[in-house]
A and B are shown apart, each in its own frame.
Chain A
Amino acid sequence: NAGVTQTPKFRILKIGQSMTLQCTQDMNHNYMYWYRQDPGMGLKLIYYSVGAGITDKGEVPNGYNVSRSTTEDFPLRLELAAPSQTSVYFCASSYYPPTDNQPQHFGDGTRLSIL
Chain B
Amino acid sequence: RKEVEQDPGPFNVPEGATVAFNCTYSNSASQSFFWYRQDCRKEPKLLMSVYSSGNEDGRFTAQLNRASQYISLLIRDSKLSDSATYLCVVNTYNTDKLIFGTGTRLQVFP
Contacts and interface: CB of A to CB of B under 8 A. Distances in A.
Q: Do the two chains bind? A: yes
B25 interface: no
B44 A106 contact: yes
A29 B44 CA distance: 18
A97 B91 contact: yes
Interface string A70-104: 00000000000000000010100000011111011
Contacts of A88: 41
A48 B96 contact: yes
Chain B CB within 10 Å — which of A41, A88, A90, A97 has the most? A97
Contact of A42 (B31, B34, B43, B101): B101
Interface in B37-70: 41-46, 49, 51
Interface of A: 31, 33, 35, 40-45, 48, 50, 56, 58, 88, 90, 97-101, 103-104, 106-109
Closest 9 pairs (CB-CB, A-B): A106-B43, A103-B46, A42-B102, A42-B100, A43-B100, A99-B32, A97-B96, A98-B98, A98-B91
Interface of B: 4, 8, 31-32, 34, 41-46, 49, 51, 87, 91, 95-98, 100-103
